[in-house]
Amino acid sequence: MHTGIQSPQGVWWKPVRGGEKLWVGIAFAWCLVLFAMMPLWHLRGGQNPSGIRSKVDPQAFMARTQEFIRTYQVGTENGIPVVEPPPGSDIYLMGMMWSWQPVLRLRKGAQYTLHLSSFDVNHGFSLLPFNINFQVVPGYDYGLRITPTEAGDFRIVCNEFCGIGHHLMIGRVIVVDESEPAAAGASSGAAIGGGNL
């Protein structure tokens, strides 16, 4: 018997005894269970971060977002355009120091492809009070298939440090019921974008 600060003499590669062997076995089995859960949940879970990934030049993403805003704008709030895209369309949300553009008006139960990216630095997309979080990286378009399941008034808080105005960066998503009429002025142009899939 020796301590961890003494040099073991002779051969120390010795068979493992009962209790320790059992523990290593249990621990390894547990690790395999955890490991199996990773792909299983990926296949069976309803909520995955995979998305549609593509590179995008920040300028190009800005242009797409502006085009998107022009097409579907229904108003303005605190200087930020409010858009109401038709169900099924590609929708764009751009983080920039220090705001989320635009405010989105979505329809409960409808499917959208949400494109997230940044015009400048890293930002953090955090949908509250749901608490759903994604990293927003400049140069990358994160396309997420989403279906709002609850009507209400939601916030997008930036949770990646993005400079001195980081804590001021908060956006808004409104989800309206299926029955509610479209906001005045909502145009019904065809979905744009999507060419980046």
- Interface of this chain with Cu ion, residues 79 to 118, rule: CB under 5 A: none
Answer for which of 82, 91, 96, 158 binds Cu ion (CB under 5 A) is: 158
> Based on CB atoms, which residue is closest to another protein, 46 or 181?
46
Burial tier of 115 (Cβ tally within 10 Å: 0-12, 13-18, 19+):
buried
Choosing among another protein, Cu ion, none, which partner's interface includes residue 123 (Cβ < 5 to 8 Å by kind)?
Cu ion
Phi, psi of 35 (to 5 degrees): -65, -40
179 binds, among another protein, Cu ion, none (CB under 5 to 8 A by kind): none
- The Cα diameter of the chain in Å comes to 86
CA distance 95 to 175: 20
Contact 83, 106 (CB under 8 A): no
Spatial CA neighbour of 149 closest among 47, 25, 2: 47
Listed ranges 48-56, 66-74, 160-168, 182-190: which one lies at the site for Cu ion (CB under 5 A):
160-168
169-184: b (≥16 Cβ within 10 Å) or e? bebbbbbbeeeeeebe
User: Does residue number 166 form part of the binding site for Cu ion (CB under 5 A)?
Assistant: yes
Closer Cβ to another protein, 87 or 174, answer by number: 174
The answer to whether residues 171 and 136 touch, using CB atoms and an 8 Å cutoff, is no
Binding-site partner at residue 116 among another protein, Cu ion, none, CB < 5 to 8 Å by type: another protein
The minimum distance between CB 70 and another protein, in angstroms, equals 21
Which of the listed partners (Cu ion, another protein, none) does 139 bind, with a CB threshold of 5 to 8 Å by partner kind? another protein
Minimum distance from CB of 35 to another protein (Å)?
5
Size of the site for Cu ion (CB under 5 A): 5
Which residues contact Cu ion by CB under 5 A?
Answer: 123, 158, 162, 166, 169
